[in-house]
Structure 1
Amino acid sequence: MTDSRIGGDLVVETLRALGAETVFGLPGQHALGLFDALRRSPLRLISSRVENNLAFAADGHARARLAADPAGPVPVTPMIVSTGPGALLTLASLQESRAASVPVLGISSQVPAAGLGGGRRGYLHELPDQQASFRDVVKSVHVARTASQIPGAVRAAWESAATAPYGPTWVEIPQDVLLAPAGLPPITSATARPAPLEPLPELVDEAARLLAGAENPVVLAGGGAARAGAGPELLELAEALRAPVLSTFGAKGVFPWEHPLSGQSWLEDWHSTEFLADADVLLVVGSGLGELTSNYHRFAPRGRLIQVEADAGKLESNHPALGLHADAKLALSALLPRIPRREPDGRAEKAVADLLERVRARLAAQDLELEQRLLGEVRAALPEGTPSFWDMTILGYWAWSAWNADGAPMHTAQGAGGLGFGLPAALGAAATGGPALAVSGDGGAMYGIAELATAVQHDLDVTWLIVDDGGYGILREYLTDTFGESTATELTRPNFVTLAAAFGIPAVETTPDRLRQDLADALTTPGPSVVVLPQHLRLFAPTHPDQD
């Protein structure tokens, strides 16, 4: 019998051997060989209507799996698109995956090999150098120009995505190579072995010495701690040191929200900024101390700083520190045996309680009861363990600071800050088999509205909460605060309830008083649903060094 396998089969076989079960894909002319191979494989294929949403869905799928089993194999999520426009549309979404360290493996076709190498043959979708468009966005780019190069390229990309710091990688393969006879036996045993990123013992010893001698140690947990599944080690370290722990927006849930040592996540509040700065030794775990974490670069530590970071480029990029280039979980595991246990004396707990009281008092002076109430209603409506995916919208900005992620994992687009993340990422999470919540404003909702069709096609259990304030609410506030008026922020939008109904999706318009019940009903009804809340919300006022 003639072997009917083609180059596309080598891609699919290698993905299966590496552990893939679900692939996110959108067909295109040059990628036909990949999709025919998928048709003949047991891999589950989840499609979308637009490539950038496909990449967000793959991102959400990986985040949900990582949060559900942080100790398991790194959940690299494959995504397959076509050449040129299809590939380029994924870039903004891959920027978010890179900023948030999410292991997505993108695979695209290329024009036939004859059109590569610097010439311009005039093929449809041809780019002078497609790889160049991805090199500064993803972690690594891999190329296969012959069938025999495919398994190695896919395996290398998978391994790179799964190596700390996690992140998106890219593989491209010419159309003719994907369509040509495979020429190799079936691939069944490909394995990836990401090297553990362990800290240097000498640096661990020095970090332990500084922490042991600290009178006022404080820990700032970043997204790297969450991605590494370092929650248990973080809790043990904090209790050993009697050190308060504050969490960045990307680290929600890594430390118990109501723990007596939890300073929570109010990082845009100057009281929190000063609390961190006052530490005589500040241990930063899995954060580069970027703009949002540093209260827009106004954070100025007055003590010693220890920074544990898997991304070497972020070590000391904003502040001098004792830098440990390491996976957060491995670094904390190495520190724990070297840290003396302190007897509780109540000082750290009182300092945390005083900090949170100052934060609450400042908010209470700003007439923001509605915003806090609505966030609480959303949290109360969410069944235990249900993940939520938040777009760049005012209620999402509130959630960065105020959301209690214990038992309710929260994922946001604040890594890169692009619009349109909420719905497609939640669809990707729902593809793991459980329900998910997406939260968008009406402006961000329009970026992903086509994916309502995807939700119905794949019967994905996603509830979409759309807060409709008639425009880009955050930008309206920014422009008005800066210039006294706003420009290009007021938007024509559809009747979202009617539009959802056109897809056969149950939808309801709600009010603040009915939100909890309407959202709870939607979340406990299988399949896609939409809840629309027409409401103008306000951000809490930013703080400055001269403000209380």
Structure 2
Amino acid sequence: MAQHPGEGAGRRIGGDVVLETLAAAGARAVVGLPGQHALGLFDALRRSPLRYLGARVENNAGFMADGLARAGGRVAPLLLSTGPGALTALPALQEAAASSIPVLAISAQVPLAGLGGGRHGYLHELPRQSDSFQGVVKHVYTVRSAAQIAPAIVQAWSVADSAPKGPVLVEIPQDILLQNVEGVVAPIGGADVRQAVSGRDPQPLAVEIHAAAQELVAAERPVILAGGGVVRSGAQEELRRVAEQLDAPVVTTIGGKAALPWDHELSARCWIEDIATTEFLENADVLLIVGSGVGELSSNYHTFRPAGRVLQIEADLGKIGANHPCRGIHGDARLALAGIADELAALGVHSTPERRESARSAIRELLATVEQRLDGQDLATERALLAGLRAAVPPETPVFWDMTVLAYWAWSAWDASASDFHSGQGAGGLGYGLPAAIGAAFAGAGPTLAVSGDGGALYGIAELATLAQESLPVTWLIVDDGGYGILREYMEGEFGAATATELARPDFVALAEAFGVAAEKTTVADAPEAVRRALESGQPRVVVLPAVLRMFEPTHLHRR
């Protein structure tokens, strides 16, 4: 919001210090929702060069900040009020934590005299609001004087932006946000703030790099499992170099889908929910896991049992060896892979035609097995729809997937080599797609696609107002199957019948148009073309697809 004259334009209060510090740290925009105790923040917006994206629901604001951080490549500030306003953002912050997205939440608090007391009866008061965030964010800072505002935000920004990245909370009492700070706090700015907030990436120990390289050199069947940490650290080139030196096939997790181009001859793609991929990973005599904690989805629902040696590169110390015994390398993925590549080069390790052909043959066999399994499951509709959408969506278009059947397909089958692929599967909450896409478009990502089911769409429906108000180039594909489709399928498969999965829902086309957003209903056959037209319009668009889609067979249930 650009500065403009008006009542209070000459003031400088605690809220100004917040926004000055954010701008000095490198923020270009903030996301949020005003509230009574946060008015000092929002009054200061009138005097700030920072652009403002206003949400209608705090949880959606959190998802918008998530999208803003992913598309903008920097920490995204999230402005919240107290009590219900702050707590409503918790699911979005959980997603940011699970997916290592640097969101800096700045919450108002009741006046300083009421902090921790629970006796003053302030509106929205919680005796220990920060306790609700402790298990979700990386750290909580509570400001108790105007002089603490800038140092707290600088420290919080640095923590959010240090690997493993993630959300941080700074809470500031109402009276401190409103306090006149002229002559008390100097104007914030300068290169010193940028230097102070620089994120720190853990440097792997040389002895660990050397030992890992030695094990990889001795491997006969090395395989690499590349996770989201590879993409977040920008380690794609280092990954390719190591894979090519070792002639090692590369399987990716959902978050790591863009780690290696799918058309690379060493790409074994991302069918991590198929038993064939699980067994492919298990068959490696040395498995190098990079930037993944090998959680529930990446381990095919904890059925993965590696038979060989495991090397794990991970910036989050707590994830090393948490699920499988391993030789751990604590460090940033890019730094660690670069170190291993250099060690391999020093040892004279390079690709050979025999090893390369062996790897390519193993990959062909794996992907053929997956293809044959799909061919036997009568899934032509789903496969054609996803393939049609992938062909219709320009390669560079960011795509944000909610938790819906089509997204579950996309986790495995969407080629994300040339695009930004983002999914709410980190924490698995509904409602991620639209607000995250709005945040990315606001960051300047260009035409952006969000995909939701009708159940997830109802979580974010209020943000059609934001979309219309900002006139952002977001296309929202809503797959309307009349309920919680994936839960319906799970319950029918497990219990023979589904309960509480069927939903009454609005006419999404009419509802979107009521918000002033152009919308159309389509068919499975025409959906790719409808989405292509919508993206090309450069305007807010909603495409509604009435369809009941099926998932491919959950092969992890048939193990051993």
* TM-score bracket for this pair, using the shorter chain length: over 0.9
State the shift of 1:338 in Å: 0.8
Q: Structure 1 residues 439, 38: closer, same or farther in 2, change over 3 A?
A: same
Mapped contact 1:62–1:76 kept (Cα < 8 A): yes
Q: 2:381 aligns with which of 370, 373, 386?
A: 370
Q: Structure 1 residues 84, 337: closer, same or farther in 2, change over 3 A?
A: same
Q: 1:344 aligns with which of 338, 353, 360?
A: 353
Identity of aligned residues (%): 57
State the distance in 1 between where 2:126 and 2:28 align. 31
Q: Deviations over 1:71-123 (max 9, x none)?
A: xxxx0000101000000000001000000000110001000000013342110
Amino acid at match of 1:482: E
State the distance in 1 between where 2:557 and 2:404 align. 26
State the distance in 2 between where 1:257 and 1:42 align. 41
TM-score normalised per structure 1: 0.97
Mapped contact 2:118–2:126 kept (Cα < 8 A): no
| Structure 2 residue aligned with 1:412 | 423
Aligned ranges 1:92-491 → 2 under 5 Å: 92-182=91-181, 183-189=184-190, 190-191=193-194, 192-339=197-344, 340-345=349-354, 346-433=357-444, 434-491=446-503
TM-score normalised per structure 2: 0.95
Mapped contact 2:301–2:556 kept (Cα < 8 A): no
Q: Deviations over 1:434-470 (max 9, x none)?
A: 1110000000000000000000111111000000000
State the shift of 1:408 in Å: 2.2
State the distance in 1 between where 2:382 and 2:358 align. 32
Q: Deviations over 1:255-305 (max 9, x none)?
A: 111211111000010110000001000000001111111111110111000
| Structure 2 residue aligned with 1:72 | none
State the distance in 1 between where 2:103 and 2:144 align. 22
Q: Deviations over 1:516-536 (max 9, x none)?
A: 211111010022100000000
Amino acid at match of 2:37: H
Q: Which runs of 5+ in 2 are unaligned?
A: 1-7
State the distance in 2 between where 1:377 and 1:64 align. 25
State the distance in 2 between where 1:292 and 1:150 align. 40
Q: Deviations over 1:108-145 (max 9, x none)?
A: 10000000133421100000101111111001111211
State the distance in 1 between where 2:276 and 2:324 align. 20
Mapped contact 2:161–2:200 kept (Cα < 8 A): no
Partner SS state of residue 130, structure 1? coil
State the distance in 2 between where 1:401 and 1:39 align. 45
Mapped contact 2:261–2:418 kept (Cα < 8 A): no
State the shift of 1:64 in Å: 1.8
Amino acid at match of 1:248: T
State the distance in 2 between where 1:485 and 1:220 align. 37
Count of residue pairs the alignment pairs up: 540
Supply the RMSD in Å over aligned alpha carbons.
1.3
State the shift of 1:545 in Å: 7.2
State the shift of 1:254 in Å: 1.2
| Structure 1 residue aligned with 2:51 | 44
Partner SS state of residue 263, structure 1? coil
State the shift of 1:204 in Å: 0.6
Mapped contact 2:9–2:47 kept (Cα < 8 A): no
Q: Which runs of 5+ in 1 are unaligned?
A: 67-74
Amino acid at match of 1:172: E
Q: Deviations over 1:189-221 (max 9, x none)?
A: 223132231101111111000001100000000
State the distance in 1 between where 2:9 and 2:368 align. 74
- Which runs of structure 1 show a deviation greater than 6 angstroms over 4 or more consecutive aligned residues? none
Q: Deviations over 1:3-44 (max 9, x none)?
A: 720000110000010000010011000000000111111100
State the distance in 1 between where 2:69 and 2:122 align. 34
Mapped contact 1:305–1:322 kept (Cα < 8 A): yes
Q: Deviations over 1:485-530 (max 9, x none)?
A: 1111000000000111111111110012211211111010022100
Partner SS state of residue 396, structure 2? coil
State the distance in 1 between where 2:367 and 2:394 align. 27
